[in-house]
Structure formats: C-alpha cells, structure tokens
Amino acid sequence: MIRSFAALERQRLARCRLLAELRYRRLPHPGGWSHCGVQLGTEPTSLSLLALHSSSSASTVPRRELEPLLDCQRPNGLWPAVGNGTASVSFWASAIAVNTLMILGAAPETVAGAIDSLVNCRPLEASWLVRLKFRLSDRQVRFDPTKYGWAWVPDTVSWVVPTSMALIALERAKRQGLIRGRELQKRLRLGVEMLLDRACPGGGWNAGNAVVYGVPLCPHIDATAIALAALRFHHSLPIVRDSLTWILNRIDCPSAYSLAWLILSAAAYKDLRSDVSPALDMARERLATLVDDSREVRDTSTIALAALALEPETAINPFEVKM
C-alpha cells in the first residue's frame, strides 16, 4: 500500500512537471504549440489544449484559448499539419483537432465543416481504376482495396493512424448529435472494415499494411494503440482481443510517446478484462520514470500525451468514445 501511494505521488509530480513544460512552450501571440520549434502544429496544439484543460471543472473552454487552433482552419473545415499557410490539409491533424474541439465544448459550427469533409473525403482506393491496379498489377501488398479509411493527406491511400483518429472523431460527433445519416454510417463501417482487414496476423497493426511481398510485418505500438481506441465498440472480435493482449505485453516500451498511447487506449478496456488495470499501473509507473529523461520529452506532443496518460483514472479519456 505504501508503494502504491508513493507511485501515485511520483506520477502526480511527473504530470505537474509536464504541464509546467507545456505552459512554458506556449508560443507567443496568438499562442498554440509547435512540435519542437516555433512553427505552430495542429497535433501538438490539440494535445496540449487537452492536457491543460483536462482537469478543468468548466464544461467549455473560452474561445480565446481555442483561437490558435481555429485560426489555422481552412475554408473546407480541415487543418494542415503545421502552420496556417498553403500546406496541404492533413486528415490526421484534422481529426485530432475536431476531437479536441468537441471535447472542449467548441461551438458546433466550428467543427461542422470539418465533420462533413471527413465523411465525404475518399482515399485513392475509392477509385475503381486504382482498385483494378491493386488487384491486377500491384500485388506485393495484401489488403482489400474495397475497404478504405482515411489517408494522411489527400490523393493518397489509407493508413491505419489517420483512419483510427477519424473514426474516433466521427463516433464522438455522432454521439453528440452533430451528424447522422446513411453516408456517415457507411463511412464508419468502411473505416472499421479497413482496420480489421489490415491487422497483422498475430494481432496489432503496422502503419499501413500487414503483409508485403508475402512477409508479415511487425505491429507498431502507437499504431496498434490508436487502432484499439477506435475499435473499442468491437472488443468482442478475436483480432481486437489478440491486439489488446499483444499491446499489454509491451509495457516495457522505451518510448514515452508510444507508452502514453498504450495507456490511453488500453484504459478504455479496463472494464472488460481483469489483466488491463494491473498492466496500466505498471505502465504509468514506467512512464513517470521515462519522462524524467529530457531526451524523451523533446517533442511537445509527447509531453502532452504523457500528461494525459498520467492523469488520475477518474479523468476523462479524450480518446475513448463511450456508448
């Protein structure tokens, strides 16, 4: 029991240091956060806002706090990965921004365009010509091109990480009553089918495909974690159960970024399996130790994710969408 209290205190102090570092890294007017330098990034800004406001008792965050993120939004509702200039939009960045704004109580009109754009976007596999190419000539990778999700950027093929975050954002939008309809349901179904189709044979997910040139690829911890967060409603499927088992055996991970994602995704399953909570306790203790190393907290996204992962279990998990 004494060790448990000591561990909780170490985690609390680590989280306090991480939050202080986030406040220090806030960019000058109009604010926001970069990954490591001075160029505003959508992902680090979104994650930092979540980390800094997660323990707030207010149901909404003042608009002035959200303005750095909103100022980067394009006319079509989407966001670039960095800056607010002419860079291409990023579906990963857009999905994580939409998820953040919904959690922090932004006005529905600020995310309406982004939600519509996410539902209506199509990766290259949606084209019958590209599907024919994958079926007839480009057969080194094994996946079903009729099952597609979201790409990193327009005019490219689907990848696991942006697809998972888009599913999380759209499920949240659906549950908040911000969008409904047949097209949304079709898009959610296709995204889930794409993830299940591209799972590695023994469980988990690589960044894109499971098998290339006949060789099974190894899962990645961060990709597997984000996919598991997106597939929480499908926990009864064998591939989801196997993937959860795989990731719970990776808590000795040396990366604070990956370990934080592992904690945040696995926490959504703690009411389903008895082995999740003990693994999470060990993972949080390891994360609190990892973030003491300055080499592990150079990137702002890592700092914010680690702060979220070290929150008390009663805090809201921003990547869990409840029924």
Structure confidence by residue, pLDDT tens digits, 23-33: 999 999 889 99
Which pairs with CB-CB distance under 8 Å and at least 24 residues apart come from 247-254? Answer: 247/204, 247/221, 248/275, 248/276, 248/279, 250/221, 251/279, 251/282, 251/283, 251/286, 252/286, 253/221, 253/286, 254/290
Amino acid 314: pLDDT: 74
12 in a structural domain: no
**Which two structure tokens, joined as six digits, stand for 135?**
């079926």
Cα–Cα distance measured from residue 53 to residue 48, given in angstroms and rounded to the nearest whole number: 8
289 lies in some domain? no
Domain that holds residue 240: 38-256
Q: Which two tokens stand for residue 271?
A: 């009411």
On whether residue 319 sits in a domain, the answer given is no
> Distance between CA 177 and CA 251 in Å, rounded?
36
Taking the CA atoms of 54, 25, 207 and 263 in sequence, report the sign of the dihedral they define: negative
For residue 1, the model assigns a pLDDT of 42
Q: At what angle do helices 42-53 and 300-309 cross, to 10 degrees?
A: 30
Give the pairing type, strands 211-212 and 215-216.
antiparallel
| Structure tokens belonging to residue 298 | 């150079």
**Interacting residues of 275 by C-beta distance below 8 A, sequence separation 6+:** 248
Q: Which residues of the chain have pLDDT under 50?
A: 1-2
Structural domain contains residue 33 = no
Q: What pairs with residue 34 in β-bridges?
A: 40
**Inter-residue contact 246 to 219 (CB < 8 Å):** yes
30 preceded by a cis bond (ω within 30 of 0): yes
Domain membership of residue 267 (yes or no) is: no
How many residues are listed for the chain in this entry? 323
118, part of any domain: yes
Q: What pLDDT was estimated at residue 278?
A: 95
Looking at residue 12, its pLDDT comes to: 93
CB 310, CB 97: distance < 8 Å: no
Distance CA 205, CA 40 (A): 29
For residue 28, tell me if it sits in a domain.
no
Residue 82: give its domain's CATH number.
1.50.10.20
Q: Which of 272, 251, 252 is nearest to 320 (CA)?
A: 272
> What is the C-alpha separation between 110 and 243, in angstroms, rounded?
35
Two tokens, residue 85 = 């200039």
- In a domain, residue 15? The reply is no
Query: In the chain, how many domains are there?
Result: 1
The predicted model scores a pTM of 0.93
Q: What is the pLDDT of residue 73?
A: 94
82-99: pLDDT as tens digits: 986 667 899 999 999 999
Cα gap 312→84, rounded to integer Å: 34
Dist CA 236 CA 89 (whole Å): 35
Contact 268, 232 (CB under 8 A): yes
